[in-house]
Amino acid sequence: MIHDVVITPLRQIFDERGKVMHMMRDDSPVFRKFGEVYFSCTYPGAVKAWHLHKRMTLNYAVLVGQLKVVLFDGRDDSPTKGVVQELFISPENYQLVTVPPGIWNGFKGIGDKMSIVANCADLAHDPGEIIRKPAFDSSIPYDWALKHR
């Protein structure tokens, strides 16, 4: 587990009409402030990586489909520097993933339909605070290929 990354189980409330999916409240321990909510939609097998936010704290929850979210800690002052963390998040494993600034992150669509992840961020989108690397950049020790364990 990467230092400062927080996983919070989220509640879903089901009834015969459908369900309610919790995501963020202002009394949550991980809530900092409101910046923007957006939804990133990913086709099966597509990889969206790598991003590093210099100032934004991300809060991800997958509403539809399934994502493999991969985090890489390249922070020099972190006790988990060099650690790679894989998370599989979906409505079936419904969690809020809080990622502080400075951690490389990316995700891959899993399964057979478009996945939708919500990001409830503490900062509005600002392209100037994002650093990007190609998904297969050799400086991050991660292979996005399907692994038959």
Ligand X SMILES: Cc1cn([C@H]2C[C@H](O)[C@@H](COP(=O)(O)OP(=O)(O)O[C@H]3O[C@H](C)C(=O)[C@H](O)[C@H]3O)O2)c(=O)[nH]c1=O
Residue 110 binds ligand X, judged by CB under 6 A: no
Contact characters 10-39, ligand X, x per CB under 6 A: --------------------------x-x-
Q: Which is nearer to ligand X, 20 or 37 (CB)?
A: 37
Q: In the chain, what are the helix, strand and coil shares in percent, each to the nearest 5?
A: 0, 50, 50
Identify the DSSP state of 113: S
Instruction: Look up tokens 């399907």; give the residue.
Output: 146
Q: How far is the CB of 20 from ligand X (least distance, A)?
A: 22
In this structure, what are the phi and psi dihedrals at residue 45, rounded to the nearest 5 degrees?
85, -15
Query: Comparing C-alpha atoms, which of 69, 68, 79 is closest to residue 104?
Result: 69
Q: Which of 51, 63, 64, 78 binds ligand X (CB under 6 A)?
A: 51
Q: Which of 69, 117, 120, 123 binds ligand X (CB under 6 A)?
A: 117
Residue 48 binds ligand X, judged by CB under 6 A: yes
Beta-carbon contacts of residue 20 (< 8 Å; ≥ 6 apart): 12, 13
In this structure, what are the phi and psi dihedrals at residue 129, rounded to the nearest 5 degrees?
-105, 5
Q: From 22-30, 72-80, 108-116, 117-125, give the range in contact with ligand X by CB under 6 A.
A: 117-125
Residue 96 binds ligand X, judged by CB under 6 A: no
Footprint of ligand X (CB under 6 A): 36, 38, 40, 48, 51, 58, 117, 119, 125, 130
